[in-house]
């Protein structure tokens, strides 16, 4: 049998190698930030990193898995409370954040058995209800402060400037890991299946993909990511308040960021988070008007840029920051007919 060795598949293009260098430089720049800017700047940027994390997770979930959840705040809350409880047990809060990811994923599994029975709109509403149930259960527990919430022990001894920088680096590190993790996931076999499910689930099943299994994996991954984000929020604020941490506005933020940035693109949540963060900084004084402006913007974006800012840009230019596809760089040089039969049975 003659093997067509000449077939050559590339996973990246030259332009994306350049973009990786650029991204690396941005990352280095971000790491240096605490040395060059005021502490108030870096501490407000922790929120940017949290937004990048939760929006990336929601993009995986809704943009690829088609699972439009408005209850991911459940896992933000669970992650946060895990850090509080572990700290009481003597675990360092920064380690506790990773346990937060673990408990979130563990609770997401039984939750998925329930939530996956619901379709479409019912799934969205169902996940919200489930998040509320988690909040109601949480405030029943007096050892985590009931409805008042609780302060985090274990970090208060640190010098405030040092603690602020540490929190910044920690949040930055996790945001980078999350984005790279999404990139790795989408480049893997699971990513190929996930992209197929994004485009057409019936067709994906006909292609041999166990769509339910893949969606469950994505649901667990996204819960873990939100757990990390919740942990960071506690480490940053040094306390947890159940109504705030389980607030549905987290879901509103995720959705806004992903829609504005570009749903179904890894780059979308990054762009969207930047836009959202900038708006938060400049328009926060506007109070309620600011929220209404957000809503109007999201609707306009959905109407004119259905694929978001990144989608519009990349469709025009063909440019991708994160190449997840397969490019046939060189075809066979032997004529088709002279090769081995396709079927051997």
Partner 1 sequence: MTEPVLALRGISKRFGEVVVAEDLDLTVAPGEAIGIVGPNGAGKSTLFSMIAGEQKPDSGAISMLGRDISSLPAQDRTRIGIGRTFQIPRPFEGMSVFENLLVFATSGAGLHGHAAYTRAAETGERVGLGDVLNAQAGSLGLLARKRLELARGLASDPTVLLLDEVAGGLTEPEVADLVELIRGVQQEGLAIVWIEHVVHALTQTVRRLACLAGGRLIADGDPFEVLDDPVVREVYLGTTLTTEEDTA
Positions in the binding site for partner 1 (CB under 8 A): 3-4, 7, 9, 189, 192-193, 195-196, 198-200, 202-211, 264, 325-328, 331-332, 336, 339, 341-345
The two beta strands, 327-330 and 239-240, are unpaired
Measured from the CB of residue 119, what is the shortest distance to partner 1 in angstroms? 16
CA-CA-CA-CA torsion for 316, 319, 322, 323, nearest 10 degrees? 100
Measured from the CB of residue 256, what is the shortest distance to partner 1 in angstroms? 22
Of 163 and 198, the one with the shorter C-beta distance to partner 1 is 198
Tell me the CA distances in angstroms from 25 to 22, 119, 272, 274, 323, one per residue in order. Answer: 5, 43, 20, 17, 18
Measured from the CB of residue 253, what is the shortest distance to partner 1 in angstroms? 25
**First and final CA of the chain: distance in angstroms?**
16
For residue 197, count other CB atoms closer than 10 A to its CB: 24
CA-CA-CA-CA torsion for 93, 175, 116, 71, nearest 10 degrees? 70
What is the chain's percent helix, strand, coil content, to nearest 5?
A: 75, 5, 25
Of 181 and 325, the one with the shorter C-beta distance to partner 1 is 325
**What Rg, from alpha-carbon coordinates, does the chain have?**
22
Measured from the CB of residue 269, what is the shortest distance to partner 1 in angstroms? 17
Of 119 and 140, the one with the shorter C-beta distance to partner 1 is 119
Measured from the CB of residue 94, what is the shortest distance to partner 1 in angstroms? 38
Residue 80 exposure: Cα atoms within 13 Å on the Cβ side = 30
Of 163 and 205, the one with the shorter C-beta distance to partner 1 is 205
Of 191 and 231, the one with the shorter C-beta distance to partner 1 is 191
Please state the φ and ψ torsions of residue 329, each to the nearest 5 degrees. -85, -30
Q: Contact, 308 vs 265, CB < 8 A?
A: yes
Measured from the CB of residue 138, what is the shortest distance to partner 1 in angstroms? 37
Of 78 and 186, the one with the shorter C-beta distance to partner 1 is 186
Q: d(Cα 176, Cα 62) in Å, to the nearest integer? A: 21
Measured from the CB of residue 326, what is the shortest distance to partner 1 in angstroms? 5
Of 4 and 295, the one with the shorter C-beta distance to partner 1 is 4
């Amino acid at each position: 049998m003659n093997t067509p060795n000449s077939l050559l598949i590339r996973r990246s293009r030259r332009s994306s190698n350049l973009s990786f260098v650029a991204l690396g430089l941005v990352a280095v720049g971000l790491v240096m930030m605490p040395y060059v800017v005021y502490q108030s700047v870096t501490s407000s940027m922790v929120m940017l990193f949290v937004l990048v994390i939760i929006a990336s997770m929601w993009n995986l979930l809704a943009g690829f898995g088609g699972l439009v959840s408005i209850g991911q705040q459940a896992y933000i809350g669970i992650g946060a409370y895990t850090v509080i409880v572990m700290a009481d047990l003597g675990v360092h809060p920064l380690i506790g954040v990773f346990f937060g990811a673990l408990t979130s994923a563990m609770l997401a599994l039984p939750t998925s058995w329930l939530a996956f029975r619901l379709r479409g709109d019912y799934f969205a509403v169902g996940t919200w209800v489930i998040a509320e149930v988690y909040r109601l259960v949480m405030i029943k527990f007096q050892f985590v402060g009931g409805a008042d919430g609780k302060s985090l022990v274990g970090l208060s001894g640190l010098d405030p400037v040092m603690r602020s920088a540490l929190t910044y680096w920690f949040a930055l590190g996790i945001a980078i890991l999350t984005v790279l993790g999404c990139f790795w996931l989408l480049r893997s076999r699971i990513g190929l299946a996930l992209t197929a499910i994004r485009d057409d689930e019936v067709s994906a099943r006909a292609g041999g993909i166990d769509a339910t299994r893949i969606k469950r994996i994505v649901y667990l991954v996204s819960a873990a990511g939100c757990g990390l984000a919740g942990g960071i929020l506690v480490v940053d604020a040094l306390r947890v308040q159940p109504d705030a941490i389980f607030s549905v506005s987290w879901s509103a933020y995720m959705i806004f960021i992903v829609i504005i940035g570009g749903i179904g693109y890894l780059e979308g949540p990054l762009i969207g988070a930047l836009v959202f963060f900038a708006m938060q900084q400049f328009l926060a004084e506007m109070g309620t008007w600011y929220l209404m402006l957000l809503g109007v913007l999201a609707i306009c974006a959905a109407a004119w840029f259905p694929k978001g800012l990144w989608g519009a840009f990349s469709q025009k230019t063909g440019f991708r920051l994160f190449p997840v596809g397969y490019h046939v760089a060189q075809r066979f040089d032997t004529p088709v007919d002279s090769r081995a039969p396709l079927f051997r049975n």
